[in-house]
Amino acid sequence: MDLPVLLITNGVLLPEARLKYTLHLLGVSRARIESFALPIASVKQLYTVPGDLNDEIKVEFLRNLKDFLTYLTFESIESAITLKKLLEEKNFDALADFSVAQLREVSFSTMLDYLATLDTSRRVLLANEWIKECIKSQSDPNEQLKRDHHKELVKLGTLIPANDLAKLRDKAQNVVRKYGSRVKSGNSVEALEGKLRDAQLPDGIRDRAWEEYDRLKGMNSQQSEYNVLLNYLDLVAALPWSKSTPDHIDISKARQVLDVTHDGMDKVKKRVLEFLAVRKLTDHATGPILCFSGPPGIGKTSIAKAIAKSLGRKFERMSLGGIRDESDIRGHRRTYVAAMPGRIIQALKHAGTNNPVILLDEVDKLYAGVSGSPSAALLEVLDPEQNNSFVDHYLNLPFDLSNVIFISTANDLSQVEAPLLDRMEVIEMSGYSHREKLHIAQNHLLPRQLDKNGICPDHLIVNPDAILHMIESYTMEAGVRQLERQLGAVCRHGALKLAEALNTDIAADVVPELHLPIVIDRTAVKHILGIAKFERLNLVKKLGRFKPGMVFGLSVSVLGGKVMPIEATTNPGKGKVQTTGKLGDVLKESIEVAKTWIRANSGRLSCSSLTDIDAHVHIPEGAVKKDGPSAGCAIVSALYSLAANRCVRSDTAVTGEISLTGHVLPVGGIKEKVLGAHRAGIRRVILPESNRADTSELDDTIKA
Ligand SMILES: Nc1ncnc2c1ncn2[C@@H]1O[C@H](COP(=O)(O)OP(=O)(O)OP(=O)(O)O)[C@@H](O)[C@H]1O
């Protein structure tokens, strides 16, 4: 007989899975596929044979199936109802097939063998064994709850007509929700109660937290608010309302920590020690908020870490780069979907104490977006008058931040909003000279990289000359981050050599083909790191002797100081000045000022007044925007060189603002500029007299 193999009985849209359909398929008979040509299969029905089934097995099987029914009601209410019906009918053929179909523990191949067995008694025996195993493995601690649940289901079955499946299912699902969810969530609500008791909540907070807890207890766990409230109370219980680390401010120990972790930086260390000393003597929770500013990789973050270490406090770093939403700082209100607390509250939760050192990293990279200004939110956090009752929107309870030490860092202070900057005490940090970098590399970076790569310091030695070569030719930075990366590459090379030698023969006492220690010199650096990337940037060597109109200016950016070549040429014309190189308004005005000054002083200087020719001023790296008044003196030099047809020295760089009457005015970033000039191979720098005091910060080797 040809017949359909499967009959689709009903497709039910479950209310809790709005977009998912569940397709219920019901097997009606065994069959063998005789021929198969897509999309039609021709099948032959197979008939089961009763076999020899003894009464003892029948009784045991029925008993086991009744227990199995209890378990099944938790899994699928509809399957439980069908099984109940089959139990009433005592149809052993169908009972065996249906109950086995509910088991997930039986492997697919075993199930196929079962399916192919036509002898009913054999299948009942198999089903009985598997069901017994299943019941044994489902021993549940919530037995009483399950029994109640079962009773209620049975009651439902008797009250509602069997054919009214939809009503029955809805009611039954409510029962599953009521009991099933208690089985799952009972533990977490009880655990929460314990956590809230242990949280040492302050007076005003305690009552509100317990009120919310009572509200949670009265809620059905299927309510959407239930989980929101549960998570909220979890946070309340986890916050360190009354937990703090005791301060051990020992100035000599702090000095030692700072000296051990950081080379040089004398001015910064002195200021940090003063800060700690004042804290020790006054015992004031409130103090200035330090802001370390300077180029990347000069140790701003790591010095903040050292402060936390010397105080014995927890350290939390909050990267503010790219934040443009007020709620990142202050949290979302709980009514929002997926609402979360702000970063400050999260940092405190993570720290587990209410007096950590929180580093607000990169405050200059906060932006005001459409959803409010994060800087404005930070103002409240940093204000000692207000921050003893900081209210995060999510938490909606005041938290005392006055014990927290906030430290911030910035690369570019001009990008920090004025009111925020006003709250902080800025400590400017500048880049390092080659000699300072060498010391940092020898004392800190190399030992750290050796350790990271599992190399004993006696097995790999990097010559100072090799380190200097790396500094000069493989890095171009104010800080030491690239240098640490290059040292890491050298160490990995050493690690490979050592590991290869060790691999050759594990039992060998001596590492073959390897002479220890591995010594890294200039040649080895070239071999490991490849072609020197920055040798080509030695501008003095590269540009050689200057032509009239060329001069080196100096600029400073968030990446440190840099040499800025300026070129000027003439064209036939009527005294106009053309500018190229993406120059800002202030720089263009400096060019106008320089031209006017040359014209006014051409007689005294015995040079052309540039009125009968056009000048073209170009500053290379045309894609990079340049601005600021500090190139004034360099532009005057370039135009004078052109007007007088005399060359400027090509080993010299100039900086300083120029006024219309020829006064040279002071400029900022002297140390960075001089270091940048030194990196580019410049040997002489001309600075405004009024900047003389700034030169005291310069390293003697640089001055020399
Ligand atoms: N004076 C120093 N002594 C020892 N190590 C230093 C010194 N300066 C910097 N370092 C090391 O250089 C690495 C980079 O420093 P850090 O991350 O603190 O830079 P940063 O100034 O915060 O940079 P960014 O502005 O990019 O965040 C760190 O591993 C730090 O230990």
CATH code at position 550:
3.30.230.10
Q: What are phi and psi of 269, to 5 degrees?
A: -60, -40
Q: Whose CA is nearest to atom 15 of ligand 1?
A: 299
Q: Whose CA is nearest to atom 8 of ligand 1?
A: 299
Same domain (yes/no): 506, 543:
no
The one catalytic residue in 146, 171, 437, 673 is 673
- pLDDT bucket at 26, cuts 50 / 70 / 90: low
Residue 277 has pLDDT above 70, yes or no: yes
pLDDT of residue 343: 92
| CA 276/CA 35 separation, integer angstroms | 88
pLDDT of residue 654: 94
Cβ count near 127 (within 10 Å): 25
The closest-lying atom of ligand 1 relative to the alpha carbon of residue 302 is 18
Cβ count near 641 (within 10 Å): 21
Q: Is residue 622 part of a domain?
A: yes
- Gap from CA of 300 to ligand 1 centroid (Å): 6
Single-letter amino acid code for the residue at 573: G
Q: What is the pLDDT of residues 338-355, one digit of tens each?
A: 788 999 999 999 999 998
Residue 67 has pLDDT above 50, yes or no: yes
| CA 624/CA 635 separation, integer angstroms | 18
Task: State which of 269, 272, 301 you would mutate to test the pocket of ligand 1, scoring each by most atoms of that ligand within 8 A of its C-beta.
Answer: 301
Which residue in this structure is represented by tokens 């089934």?
A: 53
Mean pLDDT across 427-449:
90
Q: Quick one: DSSP state of residue 536?
A: G
Which segments are annotated as binding site for ATP? Answer: 294-301
User: What are the residues facing 62 on neighbouring strands?
Assistant: none
Same domain (yes/no): 61, 159:
yes
Mean pLDDT across 151-180:
53
Mean pLDDT across 519-532:
89
Q: Is residue 269 part of a domain?
A: yes
Q: Which burial class, exposed, middle or buried, applies to 337 when counting CB atoms under 10 A from its CB (0-12, 13-18, 19+)?
A: exposed
Question: Greater confidence, 538 or 223?
Answer: 223
Same domain (yes/no): 551, 688:
yes
Q: What is the token pair recorded at 465?
A: 């000359």
Mean pLDDT across 157-184:
51
pLDDT of residue 485: 94
Q: Which burial class, exposed, middle or buried, applies to 117 when counting CB atoms under 10 A from its CB (0-12, 13-18, 19+)?
A: middle
Mean pLDDT across 138-156:
54
Task: State which of 265, 444, 467, 487 you would mutate to test the pocket of ligand 1, scoring each by most atoms of that ligand within 8 A of its C-beta.
Answer: 444
Residue 533 has pLDDT above 80, yes or no: no
pLDDT of residue 1: 37
Same domain (yes/no): 503, 552:
no
Q: In this structure, are residues 358 and 347 in contact, taking their beta carbons and an 8 Å threshold?
A: yes
What domain count does the chain have? 5
- Gap from CA of 321 to ligand 1 centroid (Å): 17
361-370, 392-401, 530-539, 581-590: least confident range: 530-539
- pLDDT bucket at 489, cuts 50 / 70 / 90: very high
- Gap from CA of 688 to ligand 1 centroid (Å): 31
Q: Is residue 508 part of a domain?
A: yes
| Active site annotation includes 178 | no
- Gap from CA of 298 to ligand 1 centroid (Å): 4
Q: What is the token pair recorded at 418?
A: 């004025």
| CA 584/CA 2 separation, integer angstroms | 87
Among residues 115, 148, 171, the one where a domain terminates is 171
Q: Is residue 216 part of a domain?
A: no
Same domain (yes/no): 693, 607:
yes
Same domain (yes/no): 551, 592:
yes
Same domain (yes/no): 511, 459:
yes
Q: In this structure, are residues 636 and 658 in contact, taking their beta carbons and an 8 Å threshold?
A: yes
- Gap from CA of 318 to ligand 1 centroid (Å): 16
The closest-lying atom of ligand 1 relative to the alpha carbon of residue 262 is 3
Same domain (yes/no): 648, 635:
yes
Mean pLDDT across 269-295:
83
Contacts of 664 (CB under 8 A, 6+ apart): 633, 656, 657, 658, 688, 689, 690
Q: Whose CA is nearest to atom 2 of ligand 1?
A: 262
Mean pLDDT across 677-702:
87
163-177, 187-201, 575-589, 601-615: least confident range: 163-177
| CA 218/CA 232 separation, integer angstroms | 16
Same domain (yes/no): 497, 391:
no
Residue 72 has pLDDT above 60, yes or no: yes
Residue 4 has pLDDT above 60, yes or no: no
190-194, 219-223, 421-425: least confident range: 219-223
Q: Whose CA is nearest to atom 10 of ligand 1?
A: 299
The strands making up 577-580's β-sheet, listed across from edge to edge, are 577-580, 613-618, 560-572, 550-557, 652-654, 684-686
The one catalytic residue in 121, 630, 637, 650 is 630
The closest-lying atom of ligand 1 relative to the alpha carbon of residue 295 is 25
- Gap from CA of 262 to ligand 1 centroid (Å): 9
Question: What ipTM was assigned to the predicted interfaces of this complex?
Answer: 0.96
The closest-lying atom of ligand 1 relative to the alpha carbon of residue 480 is 12
Q: Is residue 218 part of a domain?
A: no
Same domain (yes/no): 31, 79:
no
- pLDDT bucket at 166, cuts 50 / 70 / 90: low
Range of the domain at 42: 6-46
Q: What are phi and psi of 335, to 5 degrees?
A: -75, -15
Same domain (yes/no): 606, 699:
yes
Q: Quick one: DSSP state of residue 306?
A: H
Q: What is the pLDDT of residues 583-611, one digit of tens each?
A: 888 888 989 899 899 889 988 888 888 88
Q: Is residue 222 part of a domain?
A: no
pLDDT of residue 675: 87
Residue 179 has pLDDT above 60, yes or no: no
pLDDT of residue 186: 47
> With the C-alpha atoms ordered 201, 202, 207, 212, is the resulting torsion angle positive or negative?
negative
pLDDT of residue 69: 81
CATH number at residue 496: 1.10.8.60
Residue 363 has pLDDT above 70, yes or no: yes
Single-letter amino acid code for the residue at 151: K
Residue 77 has pLDDT above 90, yes or no: no
Q: Is residue 472 part of a domain?
A: yes
| Active site annotation includes 673 | yes
- pLDDT bucket at 507, cuts 50 / 70 / 90: low
- Gap from CA of 486 to ligand 1 centroid (Å): 15
CATH number at residue 275: 3.40.50.300
Q: Whose CA is nearest to atom 27 of ligand 1?
A: 296
Cβ count near 404 (within 10 Å): 25
The closest-lying atom of ligand 1 relative to the alpha carbon of residue 264 is 1
Q: Is 361 helix (H, G, I), strand (E, B) or coil?
A: strand
Task: State which of 298, 362, 432 you would mutate to test the pocket of ligand 1, scoring each by most atoms of that ligand within 8 A of its C-beta.
Answer: 298
Ligand 1, CB cutoff 6 Å, lining residues = 262-265, 296-302, 409, 411, 440, 444, 479-481
Which segments are annotated as binding site? Answer: 294-301
- pLDDT bucket at 505, cuts 50 / 70 / 90: low
Residue 87 has pLDDT above 90, yes or no: no
The closest-lying atom of ligand 1 relative to the alpha carbon of residue 443 is 4
Question: Greater confidence, 158 or 322?
Answer: 322
Percent of the chain with pLDDT over 90: 20
User: Which one of 6-15, 131-140, 580-589, 630-639 scores highest in mean pLDDT?
Assistant: 630-639
- Gap from CA of 301 to ligand 1 centroid (Å): 6
> What is the Cα 160 distance to its own chain's centre?
56
Q: Is residue 192 part of a domain?
A: no
The closest-lying atom of ligand 1 relative to the alpha carbon of residue 436 is 1
Q: What is the pLDDT of residues 303-335, one digit of tens each?
A: 999 988 888 889 999 998 878 788 888 888 888
Among residues 488, 507, 535, the one where a domain terminates is 535
pLDDT of residue 14: 40
- Gap from CA of 53 to ligand 1 centroid (Å): 81
127-136, 313-322, 448-457: least confident range: 127-136
Same domain (yes/no): 525, 554:
no
Among residues 104, 138, 171, the one where a domain terminates is 171
Question: Greater confidence, 304 or 697?
Answer: 304
Contacts of 427 (CB under 8 A, 6+ apart): 267, 268, 271, 290, 291, 292, 293
Nearest to 427 by CA among 261, 258, 267: 267
